[in-house]
Amino acid sequence: MQVILLEDVKSLGKKGEVVKVSDGYAKNYVLPKNLGVEATQKNLNELKNQQKRDSIVAKQQLDEAKAYGEKIAKETVQLTMKAGEGGRVFGSVSSKEIVTAAKQQFGFDIDKKKLQMPEPIKAFGTYEIPVKLHPQVTTTLKVSVKEQ
């Protein structure tokens, strides 16, 4: 029997795949637990339509991420910090502070988890921080840290 998977099943495959399973396995496990539906012509057509909708939505999200990434790459976030010993930043600049400053200065709504900072900024200067907006889109945000 052929079954269209509605969820990822560890031993069978991923959501949306059409797999062949034994009749007993389908009737006793896959269908009762709503892990899949029988691969009738109607269900196959619904699967194709759903995949088309999903691809359109994925393309729109990718385009939006690219456009947003271009906006972010054009701007430089300005931060002022107190100076500590030896001309270093008193404390450090974290991703939370950068995201807050970006929102205040330019209205960018960036999740702090998307900033890929290897470590907090502990010195004055200009830094380029990678921002992963989408699995296929990574841009850089310029951050300028100056003495107060």
What class is the 2-63 domain?
Answer: alpha beta
The reported pTM is 0.73
Judge whether 58 and 44 are in contact, CB under 8 Å.
no
CATH pick for 66-147 out of 3.10.430.100, 1.10.150.120, 3.50.50.60, 3.40.50.720: 3.10.430.100
What pLDDT, on the 0 to 100 scale, is given for residue 30? 95
Tens of pLDDT, residue by residue over 12-50, are 999 999 999 999 999 999 999 999 999 999 999 999 999
In the chain, which residues have pLDDT < 50?
none
What pLDDT, on the 0 to 100 scale, is given for residue 38? 96
Among 101, 93, 85, 91, smallest CA distance to 125 is for: 93
Domain ranges of the chain: 2-63, 66-147
**Is 2-63's fold the same as 66-147's?**
no
- DSSP letter at 26? I
Where are any strands of DSSP class E within 32-136?
Answer: 36-38, 76-81, 88-93, 121-123, 125-134
